[in-house]
Structures are given as structure tokens and as C-alpha cells.
Structure 1
């Protein structure tokens, strides 16, 4: 069924709904409203609210048909994202792709660092690997393509950009994002509660530091 404000509600299995919207701004607004209504107790029994690039998944829904009927009357605008805590990540900007990204931006490497670190990002959604947050905030003119050939191994803590997103690799893995630098902050730690440092709505700033300050 199709809801007002460009939202499409789809049934997923026995106890879940998938809400589809047109863009990331509407995802942020929808996610914020769902969190607020769950906190007020007006959504009923609901185990998980999981945002993605163009969707929000509601899992553990006691009565999917009834909730879908209610959501069909919602109007979602592009305002009202979740205001999460601010996380600052000390970052050494010495990545192997920094010069190439600076060239794509038409600037030198120092200016590229200034531009990337001068933005307050927001975690739009998580995916790809545990603790990996997709950070929005890059202006459209700073969007860059992924590498033509992905690397077989990207070190944990690598600070990267691809498309309109920034991110930090929480663990070593293959990857095709452009690497700008590195941080020693652990984004995923199973000995911590919660294990993931970044969650949807968390605000993120990259703070440039010298290599000897990287601990």
C-alpha cells in the first residue's frame, strides 16, 4: 500500500514492515518520528527500527496489518532528523588516495583535509560490516567515485569517502572506498556496550592530528 508523503509500506514476512521513501532526508525524518512514537508507546510492540538508504525496516511487529493501515495516513517531510550525540574522531590524513581525491576536488591536499574535516557528519544508517556507519554531510560537489578496482584488504580505522558518503572501516576488510586517512578509535568493540560506537543519528567530526599523536 502507498502512504501519504511518498511512503510505500510493504509486508516483510510474518512480523515486519518495510517503509520505502524517495530520499535520504525523508528516511531521517521518518526514522525520527518512529523513534518518538515508539518512546511514547503509540507504535505498540516493536522490536527494531532499522533505517537504510531509502527504507526503514520495522521488525517484531505484533499486528503488521493494523500498523500498516495506520502508517498509510502518515505524511513525511524532509525535515526533523534524529539529533544524536557528537563523536569526534582524531584522524591522521595520510591515506593513499588523499592526493587523488584532492585532485578530483580541484584543490591541494591541505585544502582537501580542511574541507573533509570541516563538516559535521551524521550517521544515516549502518551496514556492510558491524559498526560501519554511512555518514552524510558531504556537499554534492565533493562526491567521488569508488575505486575502479577494490583493495583486497583495507586496515581497520581507515577513513574513507565514496559517492556522497564518508565512513570509517571498523575492521580489516576488502573495500573500494577512497582512503583519506586513519583513526585509532575503535568503532566496533564487543567488550563495550553497545559494541558499535556509531548509531543512526550520531553526529561525527574528524579532527586532524599528526601521525605521532595517533595512539
Structure 2
């Protein structure tokens, strides 16, 4: 993995966690290092670590201060973070359906107007992207994706909505994302997917993982309704794509 970043920083996070920060901005190179460090710790656990939480640009490491102290753990983490970290050789790739526009994507026309183009162009650009799952967070299954076409970069809404539908596909800033559960959002809603990235009683509970790759394809409202019913019954719907 090419090293184009400054050395990582260790940041104390309360009295029982350390943040290993690889960058101060959203950056794919930093994110790959975050995920590689997370895999390294999973493969060879360090005594005292109780949980790791990968984000876009840092790894939050929770630990038991009765089992290991900050300085000792910090030195171990820094040694790993600054050493060679293996790339993920088993990246999963997913193809996910989206019903764009209309009641499923209520911001599509406004986004097109703001970017001085057509709704069809927005859909074509968004569906043509090849995205990486950079992190999962905010609510269960909420998948933050990097790789959004620069043409589609735009500020988030001035007034966030208190409730947006489950399955919403949206853009905000330099990101796109998949919102699995209904909830608040300040992003621009382009469409919805019937795919459940999180389903409590399904195996797997979480469909997408950080480091996975995602592409989208457009479906009509009839297909959306059919796939929505299948997803409610526990079907995966998303297509696993060969490397």
C-alpha cells in the first residue's frame, strides 16, 4: 500500500479508548489503512482491546485500562499503523437496484436544477459510479460510500429532514450513501433501494462491510415493489458480483 499520507496520530478518547488517525480529511488511502489496521488487530488481537470501530479516516480502539495502559497500547498500535499493512485480497462486490426519482427520490429534480442538468443525467452519472463502502454508522446498516462523481458533489440540505424513508439512496458533500432504516437526514434523496443492508433476523445481519465495492442499477416502480416484498421476507436482493 503506497504511503502518501503523513504519519498517523494517536489521540486519547476518554479514559478507555485511543483513536488512530490516518488523515484529517476524507481520503480513500487513509480509509484503506484504517481497514487494514482493523483487519490486522482482528487477525492478531492485542491483550486489553475490547472493540474497534473503523471510520473514514481513523480507527477507534476501545480497551480495558485494567488490562493494558494507554502508553503500552499506544506504542503497539503505532508500531502496527506505521508498518506494512496488508491489502484486502477478498473484496466483495455488490450490484444494488435503485428506483430513482418520483416519490422514491423526491430531491432528484431539485438536484438536477441545482447542477444545471437533467434528472436522467443525474441518474446516469450516479448509476455509472463504482463505490467503496468506507464505513458503516449513524444507524444500523447506514453505508457511507466513497467514489461519487465530482459533478454530483454538492452541499447538504440547509434544513435536514426529521424523517426519510428506509432504503433511501442519497448524496451529500462528496459522498453517496445507503440509508437502511427510516431516520433523519440532511442529504439529497435520489431514490430508494429494496435491499436491506441490515436485517436483524437474517443471516447475514449486515450485508455490506467496510471495504466492499458497490455499483447501482436503475429499476422501475413495479420491480421495486416486487423486490421490496421479497426483501421483507428476508431475501438478499443485492447481486454478488464476481471479481
Which TM-score band applies after superposition, normalised by the shorter structure? 0.7 to 0.9
4+ runs of 1 displaced by more than 6 Å?
Answer: none
2:100 paired with 1:93? yes
Separation in structure 1 between the aligned mates of residue 83 and residue 122 of structure 2, nearest angstrom: 35
Note the alpha carbon deviations across 1:157-194, whole angstroms, 9 max, x for none. Answer: 11111011111221111222101011111122110244
Q: CA deviation at 1:36?
A: 4.1
Q: TM-score, normalised by structure 2?
A: 0.76
Task: Provide the residue aligned with 2:6 in structure 1.
Answer: 5
From 184, 189, 193, give the equivalent of 1:179: 189
Separation in structure 2 between the aligned mates of residue 11 and residue 98 of structure 1, nearest angstrom: 42
From 65, 72, 78, give the equivalent of 2:71: 65
Q: CA deviation at 1:115?
A: 0.5
Task: Provide the residue aligned with 2:22 in structure 1.
Answer: 21
- Structure 1 or 2: more helix by fraction: 2
2:41 paired with 1:31? no
Separation in structure 2 between the aligned mates of residue 124 and residue 186 of structure 1, nearest angstrom: 18
Ranges in structure 2 where 5+ consecutive residues have no aligned partner: 228-243
Paired residue secondary structure (2:18): strand
2:31/2:56 contact within 8 Å kept: no
2:115 paired with 1:105? yes
Separation in structure 1 between the aligned mates of residue 179 and residue 125 of structure 2, nearest angstrom: 20
Q: CA deviation at 1:39?
A: 4.9
Compared CA separation, residues 46 and 185, structure 1 to 2 (3 A):
same
2:173 paired with 1:163? yes
Q: CA deviation at 1:45?
A: 5.6
Q: CA deviation at 1:17?
A: 1.6
Separation in structure 2 between the aligned mates of residue 45 and residue 193 of structure 1, nearest angstrom: 30
Paired residue secondary structure (1:130): coil
Q: Mean alpha-carbon deviation: is it higher for 94-103 or for 7-16?
A: 7-16
From 138, 147, 156, give the equivalent of 1:146: 156
1:131/1:170 contact within 8 Å kept: yes
Q: CA deviation at 1:116?
A: 0.2
Separation in structure 1 between the aligned mates of residue 59 and residue 39 of structure 2, nearest angstrom: 14
Q: TM-score, normalised by structure 1?
A: 0.84
Note the alpha carbon deviations across 1:18-63, whole angstroms, 9 max, x for none. Answer: 1122233343232233144235427456443322233211224653
Separation in structure 1 between the aligned mates of residue 141 and residue 210 of structure 2, nearest angstrom: 11
2:8/2:20 contact within 8 Å kept: yes
Ranges in structure 1 where 5+ consecutive residues have no aligned partner: none
1:152/1:174 contact within 8 Å kept: yes
2:54/2:60 contact within 8 Å kept: yes
